[in-house]
């Protein structure tokens, strides 16, 4: 298996691979590998994760619904600062 290095298209940081729970429309689909940018916190799906998430969502009848924020691609996982 060859090692892949993927960089963030926005700031060119090297993405980290993480396992994150993917929840669609309140249905837990399990944990999937996602790539997280350490700089801007954006989340990207590896191609195999996109396929696996789609397949799992179809199996659970939630395909096409919005993912919960933790593992949603291309959206910051958390705000820069908490609203206090």
By CB under 5 A, tell whether 11 contacts Zn ion.
yes
Instruction: Report the candidate in 52, 8, 7, 62 with the shortest Cα–Cα distance to residue 30.
Output: 52
Hey, which residues between 17 and 46 contact Zn ion (CB under 5 A)?
37, 39-40
> Which span (11-19, 28-36, 60-68, 69-77) binds Zn ion, by CB under 5 A?
11-19
Least Å distance, CB 46 to Zn ion, is 16
Contact call for residues 78 and 70 (beta carbons, < 8 A): no
Which C-beta is closer to Zn ion: that of 24 or that of 45?
45
Q: Tell me 78's DSSP state.
A: S
| Strand ranges for 1-84 from DSSP E | 16-24, 27-36, 43-44
Q: Rule CB under 5 A: which residues touch Zn ion?
A: 8, 10-11, 37, 39-40
């Amino acid at each position: 298996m060859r090692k892949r290095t993927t960089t963030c298209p926005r700031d060119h940081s090297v993405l980290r691979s993480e396992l994150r729970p993917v929840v669609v429309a309140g249905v837990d689909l399990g944990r999937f590998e996602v790539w997280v940018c350490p700089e801007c916190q954006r989340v990207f799906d590896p191609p195999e994760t996109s396929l696996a998430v789609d397949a799992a969502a179809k199996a659970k009848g939630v395909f096409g619904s919005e993912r919960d924020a933790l593992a949603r691609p291309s959206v910051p996982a958390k705000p820069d600062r908490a609203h206090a």
